A and B are shown apart, each in its own frame.
Chain A
Amino acid sequence: MAPGASSMLVRAARRALASSAATGGGAWRVCIVGSGPAGFYTADALLKGSPDVRVDILDRLPVPFGLVRYGVAPDHPEVKNVTERFTGIARDARVRFAGNVRVADGAGLTVSVDELRARYDAVVLACGADGDRALRLPGEGLRGVSSAREFVAWYSGHPDCARAGWDLSRHDTAIVIGQGNVALDVARVLTKRPAELASTDIASEALAALERSAIRRVIVTGRRGPLQAAFTTKELRELSKLDGVRLSVLLGCNADAGSHGTADDEGGALSERALAALSGEADRPRRRQAELLRKLWLESVGGGGVARQFEREIVLAFHMQPVGFEPAGVDAGARAGNGGEVAGELGAVRFERTQLSPDGRSAVGTGEYERTPCGYAFRSIGYLPSALPGVPFDARRSLVPSAHGRVLGSADAAAMPLPGLYCSGWYKRGPSGVVLSNIGDGAETAAAILADRAAGTLGARAGTDGAARGGLDAEGDGSLRALLAGRGVRPVDFAGWERIDRHEREAGAASGKRLRKVVAVEDMLRLAREADD
């Protein structure tokens, strides 16, 4: 038989098995904590790998999809198409979704990881990173200094940040510290014409604030050089094509003075010679990004060929390390580095110019300082996973210690895996990568679980009393369903979420938006339960 046909047969057999065993006996249970891309892609790989698995996916919010809903920018709706895929996974007969279930220490309305481990053959922590890294610099507490993560959550309508609020009408300059895609998202949302955002699913309050915004210039700063920036070429190109927005590239000169350097100065990272060194096939992504940066830089230096009208400007500034935040009303010579508490409103950020270390890995201060006046500063230097009770945490690396998706007993290199406990996504590898990074990541974690099951090591891991086990669809007293009921937690199932979703789409259609997000948890719960009550 032709090789193609035999592989088709294998596929056909696999699929037949999967559907026939879905309702059969011998089911084993996996609980996934977190319903973002990591959770769904891990579930997908488990479903493909085992016909008789049952997967329960928990989320602390009543709504699924994590950062696809609350992190992907409102003007990137095409990236959110992946929720269609996740919906298909959630509708698999072997999958249950339970929103409004918080995993913490088991007190109050929460359930603990240990309680989950006693009820499931395997528990996968896919709860992402909900904290952010602080700079720990003087003046970081000034009004006007905030976290890009919270700003993103606010304009995405996240319930946690609904009350945060930003008054953008008071100053004309914002500084973003960090140069990842989140930093570029913030810069783009701050400079894009609000009319272009109006039809998206952006939170109404955020749109109103942007319509009143006085911000004319956003300076996006990085400690290292243009070749070390973490943003992707796609996001950079998008920034360079915004209507009415000029994008300037500075190679480590004073952003405030607007000096751009010249084509033959030491801004050699983007020189033709430097680019020519990136000639290997493996260098292609970096070379293409460097070529785009060089083009943008030359346009900045030359002032741009065509005179265009710009309403706003984004500046990409490299080799700038923040050293402190200064309150408004302090004269330019004042030092921010006195370590004392500084109160009041942000007036400027102080930077030290840097050079790359010889290995290119770090930025080394040059002893030259500059001060850039601004009214807003967003730190965008990374999200942080939080520790969970009952789960080892490597505080130094802000990560759960793990190997191939198996959670280890400690951060010690010789530590053994903890029985039945796994992790996936940002909770496993740290907060970097795009949605699709979770496909391989989820597959790896699922493979570890399936291998452990095949090796017979899962059974010994969870509760010894088989009868006590059970997930959301089990009736027994020891099931998760019974545990939640006993604590007064009312999970939102996928049908409940679909009622919220339908409401958001209808409300969106009525107001000319893609969808109008429900922000308050109480409102989500009310909508989810309309059919039951």
Chain B
Amino acid sequence: MSLVRALLTAGRSALAERGGVAAIRPFSRALAQPVRITFVDKDGSEVPVDAPVGKSLLEVAHENDIELEGACDGSLACSTCHLILDEVSFKKLKAPEDEELDMLDLAFDLRKTSRLGCQVKVSPELAGMRCQLPAGTNDMQQQ
């Protein structure tokens, strides 16, 4: 618990330094307790965030300044919000629909536990989830 608090404080002070506001919302605003999840950036750095229940991972990423593209604004028409989830969390989720898999098929660094951030909603059982940003959007040079 103290570790969580330390992380939170560190996160808040970082936010305060850059004058950010809405990234970590007061708990009272959400109906359910926010859920602690961690984004793992391309360079391996970890960004723990408190994700409000019911928001999509894409929305949570944007609110926390995580560089996830989301080109089609969550309308299932691109795969720029591709995230690789940890296996345990992936299995807790309902299997993705064909339409989501069709878009994931165009994503870089596709894995077994890949999902589109816009299609996964935060729920309490996802506490502790790790969401890896795919590598490789920079490595697509073809000759």
Chain A contacts to B: CB under 8 angstroms = 1-13, 15-16, 76, 78-79, 81-82, 84-85, 232-234, 237, 281, 284-285, 288-289, 404, 429, 434-437, 439-441, 443-444, 447
Cα-based distance from A31 to B75 in the complex (angstroms):
32
Do residues B103 and A5 form an inter-chain contact, with CB atoms below 8 A?
no
The interface-forming segment of B10-18, B25-33, B86-94 is B10-18
Least Cβ–Cβ distance between B18 and chain A, in angstroms:
3
Cα-based distance from A2 to B5 in the complex (angstroms):
11
Main secondary structure of the interface of A (DSSP, over half): helix
Known: A4-B7, A233-B102. A436 touches B136 (CB 8 A): no
Do residues B46 and A237 form an inter-chain contact, with CB atoms below 8 A?
no
Chain A residues positioned under 8 Å from B47 (CB to CB): 4, 7-8
Do residues B105 and A429 form an inter-chain contact, with CB atoms below 8 A?
no
Return the contact of B41 from the options A5, A7, A79 (Cβ within 8 A): A7
Closest to A444 in B: B141
Do residues B105 and A8 form an inter-chain contact, with CB atoms below 8 A?
no
Return the contact of B45 from the options A4, A81, A281 (Cβ within 8 A): A4
Do residues A6 and B45 form an inter-chain contact, with CB atoms below 8 A?
yes
Q: Does B48 contact A (CB under 8 A)?
A: yes
Closest to B105 in A: A285
Chain B residues positioned under 8 Å from A404 (CB to CB): 141
Cα-based distance from A443 to B102 in the complex (angstroms):
25
How many residue pairs link A and B with beta carbons under 8 A? The number is 125
Do residues B105 and A232 form an inter-chain contact, with CB atoms below 8 A?
yes
Least Cβ–Cβ distance between B11 and chain A, in angstroms:
5
Cα-based distance from A436 to B80 in the complex (angstroms):
7
Do residues B10 and A4 form an inter-chain contact, with CB atoms below 8 A?
yes
Chain A residues positioned under 8 Å from B112 (CB to CB): 281
Chain B contacts to A: CB under 8 angstroms = 6-7, 10-11, 13-15, 17-18, 20, 38, 41, 43, 45-48, 65, 69-73, 75-80, 98-99, 101-103, 105-106, 108, 110-112, 136-142
Closest to B82 in A: A436
Known: A3-B45, A79-B78, A404-B141. A440 touches B108 (CB 8 A): yes
Return the contact of A436 from the options B76, B79, B139, B142 (Cβ within 8 A): B79
Chain A residues positioned under 8 Å from B101 (CB to CB): 288
Return the contact of B65 from the options A11, A439, A440 (Cβ within 8 A): A11
Do residues B18 and A232 form an inter-chain contact, with CB atoms below 8 A?
no
Do residues A78 and B41 form an inter-chain contact, with CB atoms below 8 A?
no
Chain A residues positioned under 8 Å from B46 (CB to CB): 2-4, 7
Do residues A447 and B17 form an inter-chain contact, with CB atoms below 8 A?
no
Do residues A234 and B38 form an inter-chain contact, with CB atoms below 8 A?
no
Chain A residues positioned under 8 Å from B141 (CB to CB): 404, 444
What are 12 A-B contacts defined by CB distance under 8 Å? A2-B46, A3-B46, A7-B43, A7-B45, A8-B15, A81-B73, A81-B77, A234-B102, A237-B99, A289-B105, A434-B78, A439-B71
Besides A289-B105, A439-B69, 7 other A-B contacts (C-beta < 8 A): A4-B10, A4-B11, A12-B15, A78-B76, A234-B106, A237-B99, A444-B140
Chain B residues positioned under 8 Å from A441 (CB to CB): 140
Closest to B107 in A: A436
Closest to B114 in A: A284
Chain B residues positioned under 8 Å from A285 (CB to CB): 105-106, 110
Chain B residues positioned under 8 Å from A443 (CB to CB): 137-138
Chain A residues positioned under 8 Å from B14 (CB to CB): 5, 8-9, 11-12
Chain B residues positioned under 8 Å from A429 (CB to CB): 142
Closest to A447 in B: B138
Cα-based distance from A13 to B18 in the complex (angstroms):
7
Most buried by B among A76, A233, A289, A447: A233
Return the contact of A1 from the options B10, B70, B138 (Cβ within 8 A): B10
Closest to B9 in A: A5
Closest to A13 in B: B18
Least Cβ–Cβ distance between A86 and chain B, in angstroms:
9
Least Cβ–Cβ distance between B75 and chain A, in angstroms:
4
Chain A residues positioned under 8 Å from B17 (CB to CB): 9, 12
Chain B residues positioned under 8 Å from A2 (CB to CB): 6-7, 10-11, 46, 48
Chain B residues positioned under 8 Å from A237 (CB to CB): 98-99, 102
Return the contact of A234 from the options B11, B41, B99 (Cβ within 8 A): B99
Cα-based distance from A1 to B45 in the complex (angstroms):
13
Chain B residues positioned under 8 Å from A8 (CB to CB): 10-11, 14-15, 47, 65
Known: A8-B47, A9-B17, A439-B137. A288 touches B105 (CB 8 A): yes
Chain B residues positioned under 8 Å from A4 (CB to CB): 7, 10-11, 38, 45-48
Chain A residues positioned under 8 Å from B48 (CB to CB): 2, 4
Chain A residues positioned under 8 Å from B10 (CB to CB): 1-2, 4-5, 8
Do residues A284 and B136 form an inter-chain contact, with CB atoms below 8 A?
no
Return the contact of A434 from the options B13, B18, B45, B106 (Cβ within 8 A): B106
Chain B residues positioned under 8 Å from A85 (CB to CB): 69-71
Do residues A82 and B71 form an inter-chain contact, with CB atoms below 8 A?
yes
